[in-house]
Amino acid sequence: MKAPQVLRLLGALVVVAFSLWVMVHTRWEEVDVDNDPRGAAATDETYSLRQVLQAAGATLEKRTSLEPMPPADATLVLGSSLWAIFPERDARLKAWVEHGGHLVVLGRYARGKEELRWVPLSFARPVAPHAASAAENADTDATDPDDEDEDAPPARKKTDEQQRERQRRRLRDMLEPRKPWDQCTRVDEADSAQPAFEPGRTYQACASIGTIHALEHLQPTWQLSGDEGTLAMRVALGRGDVTGVAPQLMTDNHGLLHGDNALIATAVLQAAPGRAVWLIGDEAREPLLKWLWQEARTPLLLSMLAIAMGLWRLMVRFGPREAVPPQARRSMGEQVRGTGRFVASIDPAALHAATRIAFDDAARKRVERWSELDDTQRVEALARAVAHAHTIDQPTLLVSLNVGGGATPAQILAATTVLEQARRALLRTPPAPPAP
């Protein structure tokens, strides 16, 4: 055998040996992986439900408010706990059902609510299918004689084992979370007076199962129940009806496609040709800023302008808001004139009284016994004491000395000016020569 043939044979043997080693030391398991939604299903969580209802002749609408109410023969699904934020909605919803509406109440939103007291259904908390077996295992482990402590009381040993089992179950749920549609069970319509499809049909429900009871001794017109509880129950109310689902209805794209969830959703929603189905989600309103811009644009702009100006005034500045006047001392004349203008604007009578005192001091040096004379004698004596080159207007000076209380501020200021001019004239005028 030639060398190239030997090498090819050795290579084939190596490949075969490696393949056998891989087959012996590896294990292959199938894992279901959900495909990511594409197209319209990527943005619409109810795309699959919409297609199912359209095939049945019904229409689907997603709403965020009960304003306005659905048509009289429509099906309304309360898919949020915020639908009753306004108190009058509960009464309107009851009247709508009594007039022929079909209401679907989800147990996860109806349990413990003050509203919906008029719904004759009672919802209990759902129990997962594996919860009962876990509890049985906990009781079995608690009574295992190999794990018991001979000195510990039986009640405390059982409690400790139950706590450890709950911790193990919580850890298992955290590491291997189970989706709602992974819990499948069989339900049927055996006791339903109005079956959705053929009588006695059995469904594979891939969802959590709860417990629903009819109140007020009412007989359900339709229900889906199994060994683990009741999934849905319908009772009549007026001309309409109420269907309770515990705890929720699988309407999303993933949950609807498992088991018989699509048929169950069609039966719960009572899909029929021409029927409208409304899904009420969380309450939503137009954004506040957008509403203000549309309804009150002018006040909003003025408020924003006022806020901007206020912030501008509070900004850090690198200099004064206006030029600082130079620091310089005022002269005595500027101070006196400024004080005079201030007193004249506040109390002209006080300025006249001060000027009269200054005038009397200047005239007392020209006329003897000035204090003993009256105003008329003072003016005459002053006219004789002043040189003839500087005559005094005696009537005007006399009137200025006796300004009455009824004078106006302008008249008082005019009299004050006459007195000041006369005082200055006395200071500059030489005395009159003595009489021969």
- Give the model's pLDDT for residue 1: 62
The tokens for 430 are 């030489």
Q: How far apart are CA 229 and CA 124, in angstroms?
A: 10
pTM, two decimals, is 0.54
Quick one: CATH architecture of 40-129+179-280?
3-Layer(aba) Sandwich (3.40)
Q: Encoding tokens for residue 363? A: 């005239």
Q: Where does CATH 3.40.50 sit in the chain?
A: 40-129+179-280
CA distances from 312 to 157, 298, 300, 301, 305 (A): 73, 21, 18, 16, 10
For CA atoms 113, 116, 122, 128, give the dihedral sign: negative
Q: Closest Cα partner for 362 from 295, 421, 310?
A: 421
Residues 271, 251: Cα–Cα separation, whole Å: 13
d(CA 70, CA 26) in angstroms, rounded, equals: 59
Name residue, tokens 């959705």: 196
| Positions of the chain with pLDDT under 70 | 1, 34, 112, 125-158, 172-182, 191-192, 284-285, 330, 387-391, 431-436
Mean pLDDT score across all residues of the chain? 80
